[in-house]
Structure 1
Amino acid sequence: MAKPEKKVINLRATAPAISPDRPCWGVYEHWVVNEKGRKLKPGVYWHGYQRTAGDQDTDGDDGSDRPVVDEWISSPVTVMARTISSDDGSEGRLLRMKVEAGHKDWIIPMEVFGGSGEDARRQLFGMGVIIALKKRTTFMEYLLDQTPAEVFATTSRPGWHESGAFVLPGRTIGNGNVRYQASGREQSLFKAKGSLLDWQQEIAAKCAGNPVLVLAIGCALAGPLLSLVGVLGGGVHLVGDSSSGKSLAQLVGSSVWSDPGVFAASWDMSKGGLEIEASSRNDTILPLDEIKRADPKRVQEMAYSLANGQGKGTMTRDREARGKLSWRLLTLSSGERSLSEHAAISGNAAHAGSELRMVDVNAGTRTHRAFDELHGLAGADFHRSLTVAVTRNHGLLGPAFIECLVAKQDPSGLLEDFARVRETFVEDNAQAGRVADRFAVIALACEMAIAYGLLPWEEGSALADCQLLYGEWLNRVGSGNAEDRQILSSILDFIDRHGSSRFSDVSDDQAETRVPNRAGYWESLGGKRLYLFNKSALIEAARGYGLPRVVKALDNAGALAKRDTDKKRYTKKYRLPGGGSSGLYVIDTEPLDREGVNQ
């Protein structure tokens, strides 16, 4: 059998010829042939002349008769631009590398040149760059010697940049001269896979008719709108029994920006870790699974921090202030307990402010637990189909939404649209107004995506779903001030727990000897019992609120049944069993029930 003929490639005929102006650097992404006919593989080169012991000053000598030297330094790495951080003004260089996997960009901080550069070279090796081991110092000299004319801005935080661009790792929407600069070797959170059409057909279509799923997508899309319409950050907390579908809603919301398996986070972290997670998802969404994993002693503090968008200041080893982390986003939380119920495990009083910042949403007792419409599927099949679909298609809707938003560039029109949507969410106080703002911006984001052709839902359907969930919340908490409701609820709870042990009939002369740790008395009036609190017990019952604030809440609710004629006093003077008298706060529990604090 004849041997197969070997094909011989004439590299000198196919590779471009170069004539470097020696001595100089050279970068080639393909094979080249130098002026002496020598083949050079792709890479960074130092083009010079061979030196001998008798070499002397050669100024004025073109070197055409001297032997040339082409030192291979590394695989192709081109210094594309000078970079200046918008965060702290630090400089860097934008590198473009050609490796086996293709082209990659990376920004190297200039500060690495103050040391050996070992950490920077290690990262480059990790990205596929090969550097000759004996040329490591020469490689750093090459990078430092480049003076690119182009200047790019950089930021280590995703989201809106001061230039008007929306920055994501590996992609900038709206301005090509801004780049994301990773602060370290952290995992890339934003990933894309599949197609937007498949995401629309396999995921979004099944979310129609399901307010909880619509809310999850809306939370993800609303993140970029918060700063544009002037709405503060905050979150929604999906409450329902285990395996009700809460986690699936979080997977769907996460798929708007990335792979849910990478993008979703957990409550099981420190406050500092939570700040890092929030900052790394700025202007998008922070999914937090299972609130039962959070520290009950600090969960309310963490909820405040997430909504306020400001991290805690820290110091460096040199006692210099380190920049605070900041963010603006919506949090999509879940759990079998509400935030206040979880906080109560540690014995801490629930703060009304934290509940407003992380609003409870019913995701457990709907038609099909967390869902209202299964689109003809059994519950398990519906759950499974969406779970599989988000792993195949993700990270596409969010960037597409930003592209449409940037292309439109209508700030005043956006504010007018938000105002129209906001008018449909009725509230009776400023605190409910903050929650209404949140539901309104979520509804607006969904309706905008519908108008852009990105969500296959009927116009107005997302708005109706958000109004439904907001109405459920409003009916559950009642009207009025949230702190008032919290105070009244705590007092009722105190009476339920101690009404028979720490109170006694004010007309019973023997009461003083039978009641330890007395909270007050009670008296019967018109077939009902009034509770007569002493000052210390009333403060104890309200758990964390000062006396003037407690009295104000009781007065607003009409729960102070008796008081002396002096309008500046809120107590009624009683003659006590055993002698003496005291001013007591006379509380009627019926107005407290009317406030809905037991719901």
Structure 2
Amino acid sequence: MSKPEAPALTLITKPMPPTVTPERPCWGVYAGRVQNENGAMLKPGVYWHGYRRTKEDDEAEPSDGSERPLRDEWIASPVFVEARTVNSDDDTAGRLLRLVTDRGEREWIMPMEMLGGSGEEIRRALFAMGAEIAPRQRGRLMEYLLDQRPRQTIVTTSRPGWHASGVFVLPHRTIGGDGVRYQSSGRVPNLYASKGELAQWQSLVAARCLGNPVLTMAVGCALAGPLLSKVGVNGGGVHLVGDSSSGKSLAQLIGASVWGDPGVFAASWDMTKGGLEIEAASRNDTLLPLDEITRADARRIQEMAYALANGQGKGTMTREREGRAKLHWRLLTISSGERSLSEHAAIGGNPAHAGAELRMVDVNAGTRTYRAFDDVHGMDGESFHRALTVAAGQHYGHLGQAFVEKLIAGYDRDEMLKDFDKVRAQFQSDSAQAGRVADRFAVIALAGELAIAYGLLPWPTGTSLKDSQLLYREWLERVGSGNAEDRQILAGIASFIERHGSSRFSDVNASEVESRVFDRAGYWEIEPNRRLYLFNKSGLIEAAAGFGLARIVKALEAAGVLAKRDGDKKRHTKNYRLPGGGQARLYVIDPERLENDGGQP
């Protein structure tokens, strides 16, 4: 019996790299290995294709028609110049570079102004992205970049968020179109990273936020950023107030997980005002979480709150003494701390400004059923906190992008404004200042309700609206109605009387001057069932620190606190004969009216 024939061996040969025939002298760039006209193998990279010099070149042109020897100089790893760029922020030019590295392909928009020097900044950036450059060819790489003339031109921006073209720009993608690219201004962390799955975030994080107004508000606050410019609401924020370890930071962490890695996306109050502007601009149209207000400079905290809400940085100069473009942003902020904004400002010796407090509204995140929480879903507070913290650290960065995709797909400005008006009508306000706060809670509610309607939040319809209304009512009950500056003035005077009523005032009807009173703020007058305080001008201005006399008197008149005055209705003072002789016009204040109308700020 014959043996079966052995199977024929099949030789596996690798295909030869393609052959290139450049029109020498010229530049060439190849993503993979190639071979030149003579069959020599060239590794991937940027090349200068030329000829080697020969003795004939030095003496005369070769007469025998022999071919000149080829020369292929490797300059760098593959760097393709794909397109010209124009930055819509400042009209500066650039080039879109595509790099092929050991870590994969990378893109970088190179400002053309970086070619104005030695090129060191460009090489540093390329090295950081994984490019390789021949040590003796670094100058040639700059020549290569300058010589390229790509036909395509694309628009870029260094500002994330909504672009004038209608797309939403993020560092790693553009939502709603491909016509605009993000141009990084430097080596910065990827704020808008994503990890895990949206479905897991919905079931492990969002579902457990249900029943917790502070947590649903944090999610709505994160989603409200893209709506602000659409419905005409200014930026601002909410300030979560509660004792240490009450759960405030968890709310901020959940809000941050809407857009990116909570550990990276969140920021701290511990920075300069210029640093705060950079952090805000990098999160334009999204959210800025700021942890622990105790780390902030108490002397500048209110100024920083104004800047965040107003959305415009301070103008600066370049080294050439030219004006540098101001940073701009529009967003909502979630701040946290054990003290309110005004209490922290007072530590630095600054009087509280109602405008700053309105821009960063206090929210109770410390005395709810479970401190910052109202429902821990069958767990104890510590287990609830840990479960959400772990889940938000494993699944993040999906909801914000998905929300913007839905907005763009179904966006209709008129319908959006109608929806906002319907929601806003359910937040009653009796003053322009309360109306500003109501606007903020209304846009937070609208964002949450839209996300519910889009199927992005596993909450019943009306959840975000109900919870936002609850927090808004709590704020109204805490601060009272009417003008915030009026309340602040009246509260300041009431506090001044409480602190100095026995040391800086004395009986106006005494026969002699009270020698124990130093730095006199005024007098008192005893009447049946009440004591009136008679302030001199300097004492009144000191008591209502931060306000001018005319504004103080306006608040006193509005509250009916001035108990007496002379017959002339234009006067706000009453003339008194003073102990020891002499007369003075004094502001007569009834402290009971201060307590009834001023309350506590």
| Structure-1 residue corresponding to 2:4 | none
Aligned to 2:427, the other structure's residue is in SS state coil
Residue 52 of structure 1 pairs with residue 83 of structure 2:
no
Task: Work out the CA distance in 2 between the residues paired with 1:319 and 1:24.
Answer: 41
1:89 maps to what in 2?
A: 91
Deviation at 1:58, TM superposition (A): 11
- Whether contact under 8 Å (1:82, 1:150) holds in the other structure is yes
Post-superposition CA distance 1:330-350 (Å, at most 9, x none) = 111000000100111122111
Shift of 1:446: 0.9
The residue number in structure 2 matching 1:490 is: 492
**Secondary structure at 1:324's aligned position in 2?**
coil
| Match in the other structure for 1:568 | 570
* 2:26 maps to 1:24: yes
Cα distance between partner residues in 2 of 1:23 and 1:541: 83
* Structure 1: gaps spanning 5 or more residues: 1-5
How far apart are residue 66 of structure 1 and its match?
Answer: 3.4
Structure-2 separation of matches of 1:10 and 1:96: 31
Spell out the pairing of 1:427-576 with structure 2 (5 A cutoff). Answer: 427-576=429-578
The CA distance in 2 between the partners of 1:401 and 1:285, in whole Å, is: 14
In structure 2, what residue type is equivalent to 1:505?
Answer: D
Could you tell me how far apart the structure 2 residues matched to 1:188 and 1:441 are? 27
In the alignment, which of 2, 23, 35 is matched to residue 37 of structure 2? 35
| Paired residue secondary structure (2:56) | coil
Question: Which residue of structure 2 aligns with residue 190 of structure 1?
Answer: 192
8 Å Cα contact 2:210-2:216 kept in structure 1: yes
Within-5 A mapping of 1:65-84:
65-84=67-86
Aligned to 2:6: none
The secondary structure found in structure 2 opposite 1:507 is coil
The equivalent residue for 1:363 is 365
Offset at residue 152 of structure 1 (A): 1.0
> Does the aligned pair in 2 maintain the 1:503–1:522 contact within 8 Å?
yes
Change (3 A) 1:254 1:8: farther
Q: Which residue of 2 aligns with 1:338?
A: 340
Aligned equivalents of 1:263, 1:425: Cα separation in 2: 31
Deviation at 1:14, TM superposition (A): 4.4
Post-superposition offset of 1:487: 0.2
Any idea what SS the aligned residue of 2:277 has? helix
The total of aligned residue pairs comes to 592
Cα offset, 1:513, TM superposition: 3.4
Q: Distance in 2 between matches of 1:580 and 1:77?
A: 89
TM-score where L is the length of structure 2 = 0.95
Mapping of 1:240-389 within 5 angstroms?
A: 240-389=242-391
For residues 10 and 352 of structure 2, what CA distance do their matches in structure 1 show?
79
Higher deviation after alignment, 376-385 or 421-430: 376-385
Moved more, 560-569 or 18-27: 18-27
CA contact (8 A) 1:477 1:596 kept: no
Report the 3-state secondary structure (helix = DSSP H, G, I; strand = E; otherwise coil) of the residue aligned with 2:55. coil
Change (3 A) 1:324 1:163: same
The answer to whether the 8 A contact 2:490-2:598 is kept is no
Work out whether residues 232 and 308 of structure 1, in 8 Å CA contact, stay in contact via their aligned partners in 2: yes
Q: Is the 8 A contact 1:205 1:457 kept in 2?
A: yes
Decide whether aligned partners of structure 1 residues 66 and 503 sit closer, same or farther in structure 2, where only a CA change above 3 A counts. Answer: same
Question: Match of 2:600?
Answer: 598
Shift of 1:410: 0.9
Q: Distance in 2 between matches of 1:484 and 1:217?
A: 33
Deviation at 1:19, TM superposition (A): 2.7
What displacement does 1:237 show?
0.3
Distance change in 2, residues 1:8/1:147 (3 Å): farther
**Ranges in structure 2 where 5+ consecutive residues have no aligned partner:** 1-8
1:49 partner letter: Y
Whole-Å separation in 2 of the counterparts to 1:475 and 1:320 = 50
Spell out, residue by residue over 1:92-138, the C-alpha distance to the aligned partner (whole angstroms, 9 max, x if none).
Answer: 10011111121110011111222221221111111111112222122
Residue 561 of structure 2 contacts residue 590 of structure 2 at CA under 8 Å; is this kept in 1? yes
Report the Cα distance in structure 1 between the residues aligned to 2:445 and 2:456, rounded to whole angstroms.
Answer: 14
CA distance in 1, matches of 2:117, 2:12: 45
Report the aligned-residue RMSD. 2.1
1:3 alignment partner in structure 2: none
> Which amino acid is 1:368 matched to?
Y
C-alpha displacement at 1:214, in angstroms?
0.9
- Name the aligned partner's letter for residue 389 of structure 2: T
Kindly indicate whether the alpha-carbon contact (under 8 Å) linking 1:163 and 1:175 is maintained by their aligned counterparts in 2: no
* In structure 2, C-alpha distance between the alignment counterparts of 1:306 and 1:338, rounded to whole Å: 17
Mapping of 1:170-185 within 5 angstroms?
170-185=172-187
Partner Cα distance (1:468, 1:205) in 2: 19
Q: Describe the superposition over 1:168-206 as per-residue Cα deviations: whole angstroms up to 9, x where unpaired.
A: 112111231211111122222221111111111111111
Secondary structure of the residue aligned to 1:55 is helix
Alpha-carbon contact 1:151-1:177 (below 8 Å) kept: no
Matched residue of 1:128: which SS? coil
- Partners of 1:449 and 1:57 lie apart in 2 by 79
3-state SS of paired residue (2:523): strand
Structure 1 8/508 Cα, relative in aligned 2: closer, same or farther at 3 Å?
farther
Checking the alignment, whether the CA contact within 8 Å between 2:479 and 2:600 is kept in structure 1 is: no
Shift of 1:590: 1.9
Q: What CA deviation, in whole Å up to 9, does each residue of 1:536-572 have, x standing for no partner?
A: 1111111121111111101100111111111100111
The answer as to whether partners of 1:258 and 1:395 remain within 8 angstroms in 2 is: yes
CA shift, 1:256, in A, is 0.9
User: 1:219 aligned to 2:221?
Assistant: yes
Amino acid at match of 1:143: L
Displacement after TM superposition at 1:510 (Å)? 2.6
Return the letter of the residue paired with 2:187.
R
Partner SS state of residue 167, structure 1: strand
Compute the displacement of 1:216 (Å): 1.0
CA shift, 1:90, in A, is 1.2
Shift of 1:35: 3.0
Query: Which residue matches 2:109?
Result: 107
Given the alignment, which residue of 110, 131, 136 partners 2:133? 131
Cα 1:207/1:511, change in 2 over 3 Å = same
Q: 1:433 to 1:8 in 2, by over 3 A?
A: farther
Q: CA deviation at 1:260?
A: 1.0
**Which of 93, 98, 101 is matched with 2:100 structurally?**
98
Deviation of the 1:415 alpha carbon: 1.1
How far did 1:297 drift? 0.8
Preserved contact between residue 339 and residue 358 of structure 1 (Cα < 8 Å): yes
Query: Given that residues 512 and 578 in structure 1 are in contact (C-alpha distance below 8 angstroms), is that contact kept between their aligned partners in structure 2?
Result: no
Query: What are the Cα deviations for residues 42-101 of structure 1, in whole angstroms up to 9, with x where unaligned?
Result: 222222333323238999x9x994333332222221111101111211111001111112
Task: Report sequence identity in percent.
Answer: 67
Q: Where does residue 119 of structure 2 map in the other structure?
A: 117
Matching residue's letter, 2:264? V
The amino acid across from 2:440 in the alignment is: R
Question: Which residue does the alignment assign to 1:231?
Answer: 233
- Could you tell me how far apart the structure 1 residues matched to 2:16 and 2:423 are? 64
Q: Counterpart amino acid of 1:488?
A: L
Greater shift after overlay, 134-143 or 244-253? 134-143
1:481 corresponds to which letter in structure 2? Answer: N
- TM-score norm. by structure 1 comes to 0.95
Residues 467-525 of structure 1, C-alpha deviations (whole Å, 9 max, x = no match) = 00011001100001000000000000000011111112222213443422222121222
Q: Which residue of 2 aligns with 1:143?
A: 145
- Whole-Å separation in 1 of the counterparts to 2:31 and 2:12: 19
- The letter for the 1-side match of 2:328 is S
| Counterpart AA for 2:306 | Y
- State the alpha-carbon separation in 1 of the partners of residues 543 and 117 from structure 2: 61
Instruction: In structure 2, give the amino acid aligned to 1:296.
Output: A
